[in-house]
Structure 1
Amino acid sequence: MSKLRVGVIFGGKSAEHEVSLQSAKNIVDAIDKEKFDVTLLGIDKQGKWHVNDASNYLLNAETQH
């Protein structure tokens, strides 16, 4: 059976940026990767989208901000 593709959008320009990053980390850790193919879509504090490198952006969030 093929996996269902889901997107996790996180970050953004708001004051809740770091909360959003932590929420995305929790989702990625909890999701069943045998059932879902996860695509990460990160938005930095300047509003720039990070698609191809979003996983690195999420993993290194504490050092970037």
Structure 2
Amino acid sequence: MAKLRVGIVFGGKSAEHEVSLQSAKNIVDAIDKTRFDVVLLGIDKAGQWHVNDAENYLQNADDPA
């Protein structure tokens, strides 16, 4: 059975930016990677969108966007 691709959108311009980053990290850590192919879509504090890979995201877990 093929993996289902899921997107996790995180970050943004709000005061809750850092909370969103931590929430996304918790999801990435908990998701069953044998069942899901995860695409990380980060929004930085300026509102710019970025596609992050899991390795890059985890290396910059404090601010992956």
Would you say same fold, with TM above 0.5?
yes
Alignment of 1:46-65 (within 5 A): 46-51=46-51, 53=52, 55=54, 56-57=56-57, 59-62=59-62
Identical residues among aligned pairs (%): 76
CA contact (8 A) 2:41 2:50 kept: yes
For the aligned residue pairs, the C-alpha RMSD in angstroms reads 1.9
- Which runs of 5 or more structure 2 residues have no equivalent in the other structure? none
Runs of 4+ in 1 over 6 A off after TM superposition: none
Question: Normalising by structure 1, what TM-score?
Answer: 0.84
Could you tell me which residue of structure 2 aligns to residue 34 of structure 1?
A: 34
- Which runs of 5 or more structure 1 residues have no equivalent in the other structure? none
CA distance in 2 between partners of 1:54 and 1:17 (Å): 19
Deviation at 1:62, TM superposition (A): 2.6
Question: Normalising by structure 2, what TM-score?
Answer: 0.84
Q: Which has the higher helix share?
A: 1
